[in-house]
Chains A and B, each alone.
Chain A
Amino acid sequence: MDYVVPTVYQASFLTHKLFSQNYVINNQFTLNKRFSTFDNIVPPSNVDPIMRYMAIGNGGHTVTTDLSGNVLVNPIQHSPDNISLYSHIPWIIREDGNDLTIAERAIYRMRVEVFIAGIKHYAYYLRLINPLPTNIQMNKITWSGSSSTTIPFVPGNNNINPTPTTNTSTAGDEYITVDTTVPLRITGTEATEIKDAVTKLFGNSDYAIISELGLYMGIDTTVQDPVTAIQYTEVVGTQPTVFMNTFMALNYAVDPIELDLGVGCMEPMQL
């Protein structure tokens, strides 16, 4: 059981990039296919997808009651080959005719036509992660029990010419991390929009529980609304990079939700 599941699509993309290969996305196996949104556009293979889209869903949990009657929320894990969340919920829904303006649409993606009680609406299932991080750092962490010291890691001469150890030794307590922080913010207004959207779709704002998060990578492209002929930005070749389990019941949320994603990796120093 792991609450954070990196996907095989991310692994494939990273491997392609290590060898400077074009990453070819099969448009039949994307989130666009799931929502039938511009899934016929073949993503350009010479443009790299960027991980900048966030999807939310309420299908990542189940509830059990223990013998004393206490209610427990248990996460449901994703598999690394999944493409969609178990149950997507939109970030915002607007009725046809009262749709978001082009400027308002700028931070939303995956615009999908939905019919609620016979009335046409537009649901937006992805939101941009904003701002994208620019500083990727290397740090050296030395752990000693509960305290740790973090200093910036800069490779030096002894990294260029490493000396092999010959003493008998086991692993030490030093790690080097490569990371950057990606802030995820859901403001009060956004939470209200999610609740409204969920009320429209499911009939009750209690369904506004974010229990699964998906970070997606994709390529922005300009598309044309087939009905209104308005041009707007939409993401194509959308593939997940990581799934996360969490539990946020928006009905009870008053403050903005703040999550800091640390993206990178941590390696123990060998000896």
Chain B
Amino acid sequence: MAVKQIRIDNYIQSVYKLAGSLVIKLSAAANSINKRLVETYGESSVGPNPNTWKYYLNLNGQYHSTDTAIIVNRLDPPIANPPATISFDSTQLALNPITRNVYKYGTNDFYKLVSDYPGYLTVIKGALYPVNITDAINAEDGTILAYESDFVEENEWYLIPELESWIKRWLSRWNEEGFLETDDLYGAAMYGVLTTYLPLKIIELRQHKIGTREAHSFHRRMSITTRQTINAIRGDLDIDDEQWLYRNSRYITVNQGTNKVLKSLIENITANGKVSVGYLYRRQIGVMQGLLPEVIYRNIIQNEGFNSSNIGTYDKEEVYRLEELKAMFNKDIDSYFPNQEVKYTKYSDADTKVIISDMTDKGDFSSHPYEQMLYEYYPYMADSLYNSVIFWTNPVNNRQHTITQKDLVLIYIYYLSKYYGYTPTNMPSWAYTHVSVSTNASIILANKPADVKVDDDINFFNTEHIVPAAVSNVSMYVDMIKDIYTANKKMWLRVTSKGNKIIKGVSRNMWFKFFEYGNISLGTGYSSYSNFFTSKGIDISTTLSKKEIKKLLAELRELSVSTIEDKKLRNIQETILEIIDKNTSYTSHIAKNMSDTKYVYCRQGGIGYTPGTITQYYQKVHPVTNEPPHADIDVTGDWFLVSFDQLSTAQKSQLKDVY
């Protein structure tokens, strides 16, 4: 299928989902439900007060006395074993946001719930998007009471009001009660026809807004993608940048290559402060030391230069490296170009035609970055906690195998070794670090160093820390790691915010006590790799090429830890520079560099004091309580930031468990 076709399909899918998630007020539905209830359960099941009617209760996400409550597993922490269950209603879902998220409209779990409980669609939607009962009773027929806001974009403020007004107009034209006299299914048929029109109407309303600031991102990005021949669909650009390009694309294309376009691009699409862009200048230095000056290159940043790396000057080798893709022969004619030229010129500065963007991503400076955790927990979880059945096609003979996550780890390690030219025979073991384990906080509290006030911290760690629970699919695994990552970051920030030397040291150690380091043997039950492959019936007889192995590894990762990336600074930089590159003169070169820096916090220095004789002075001013208010004033330590990239390999390995 063509890529464009996939994009259109995605867009249409999202329109269908929006249409499906709409909750539209219909008093006829309330009446017809009441009629049915009276027939089945008698008059007592419908009271005179609409507040107690099934229709309105269900809209609010509550069950009517004649309903049986839907029970689902609670997916919010703390996760018990066996998992606790909750009733699927608005009150419980408001308390359990993670569970609510799993079941929100359009997810597989939502459709499964709807098919498992036929006739409960209203209450399921009501539990997810509860409507105030009074509002629902007072609303006119055709009012849109609720919808899944994920499917409406932030600039589409017009969409729901216009759709609602269209529904009301439709109803006032077609809702002719007179027809019911001769055709008692007229009502049902009319509402059925109305629903089939909804997606078309949404598409139509959105098409009206093409070319305006209210345009849907699909139209906006498709327009940018075609005009700029870049991949805007990925959504790396900010909405501001996208809107600007959407509006100015035609002008930019017509005036490609002019300085004016280059300047306005730098000003407008990098101005949100994410990407630094500069011009590279050649400069003569050291005229006094020698006969001829040396040449350095200087990055003169043209915008605010947020996230720019600390390096402002480059030597020629560095510039060749940065420019390699654009001017790969520059270094071959090194003797002439460009240093000689600058050495003999009478001007100390000369501009180049290089536009440079040298940046450092300082985003994820936690003690254990998210990506690292995603991979570090995986073999540990796959050993016992991550149980899912995977259908995997062996590329050797195209046979489908049903394997477990643990098998997948073994296959992955096997082919990873193969990729590096080594055929493993023995079953591997895996060293895991910093895995959150179930810990008894009261034992830690009892054995902590006395007189050091870290009780609050231990309790904080105890509430925050999340023990990995059993998961059964990739999205559950990714969600769980995200939670563990967030919790770990919170705990780490708590430790690093301490100014007191002893308290910081001890609380850091107490934090470590909630984690475990160790080794697991993954191949229990198999004597060797060949034994494993034979017993699983996996054919490994054909040797795969490196390229094939790489593809296989990527596929295995997709099945186990998922590789959906968040918006990365690297991608944003790439897209923006691509746009600048496409629209500037072909003789200008764009050089870019991006370091995804890991940050280490070195603790260094630190100050503190022992209370000494403070108490007695304090007693004199404070005779009532006889208690110094802050007797724990003590000692301090502190930390500071150095870039991980600045360290040598040896230093990095020393600091491995610090970062």
A interface with B by C-beta (< 8 Å): 2-6, 10-12, 14-15, 18-19, 70-75, 143-148, 165-173, 175, 177, 179, 182, 184, 215, 241-242, 244-249, 252-253, 255, 257-268, 270-271
Contact = CB atoms under 8 A, between A and B. Distances in A.
B642 interface: yes
Given A11-B641, A170-B437, A2 B606 contact: no
B603 interface: yes
9 contacts: A2-B500, A19-B646, A75-B629, A143-B449, A168-B517, A177-B501, A177-B505, A179-B501, A265-B501
A3 B630 contact: yes
Contacts of B603: 265, 267
B42 interface: no
Contacts of A267: 505, 508, 603
A74 B629 contact: yes
A72 B630 CA distance: 11
Interface of B: 431, 437, 439, 446-447, 449-451, 497-502, 504-506, 508-510, 512-513, 515-519, 602-610, 612-614, 616-618, 620-622, 624-625, 628-630, 632-642, 646, 657
Nearest to B632: A3
B501 A270 contact: no
Contact of B506 (A74, A170, A264, A268): A268
B610 A262 contact: yes
Given A3-B633, A4-B607, A260-B609, A266 B620 contact: no
A167 B606 contact: no
A42 to B, nearest CB: 22
Contact of B608 (A18, A70, A167, A261): A261
Nearest to B634: A4
Contacts of B625: 70, 72
Contacts, number: 197
Given A2-B500, A170-B512, 13 more contacts: A6-B499, A10-B638, A11-B640, A72-B625, A73-B621, A75-B630, A147-B450, A148-B449, A167-B518, A169-B516, A248-B614, A264-B605, A266-B635
A72 B501 CA distance: 26
Nearest to B611: A259
Contact of A173 (B509, B606, B637): B509
B418 to A, nearest CB: 25
Contact of B609 (A10, A248, A255, A262): A262
Given A3-B633, A72-B629, A267-B505, A14 B621 contact: no
Nearest to A252: B620
Most buried by A among B450, B497, B604, B610: B604
B433 to A, nearest CB: 10
Nearest to B646: A19
A2 B632 CA distance: 10
A14 B509 contact: no
Contacts of A171: 509-510, 512-513, 515
A267 B601 CA distance: 12
A258 B611 CA distance: 9
Contacts of B616: 255
Contact of B605 (A5, A170, A265): A265
Contact of B499 (A3, A147, A257): A3
A253 B619 CA distance: 10
A194 B436 CA distance: 53
Contacts of A246: 614, 630, 633
A168 B516 contact: yes
B430 to A, nearest CB: 11
A116 B641 CA distance: 45
A261 B449 CA distance: 21
A214 B512 CA distance: 33
A263 B517 CA distance: 32
Contacts of A177: 501, 505
A74 B513 CA distance: 33
A241 B606 CA distance: 9
A239 to B, nearest CB: 14
Contacts of A168: 516-519
Nearest to B620: A252
Contacts of B628: 247
Given A4-B500, A70-B625, A171-B512, A247 B614 contact: yes
B612 A260 contact: yes
A259 B612 contact: yes
B505 A169 contact: no
B302 to A, nearest CB: 25
Nearest to A143: B449
B649 to A, nearest CB: 16
Nearest to A144: B447
Given A6-B606, A268-B505, A268-B512, A15 B617 contact: no
Contacts of B640: 11-12, 14-15
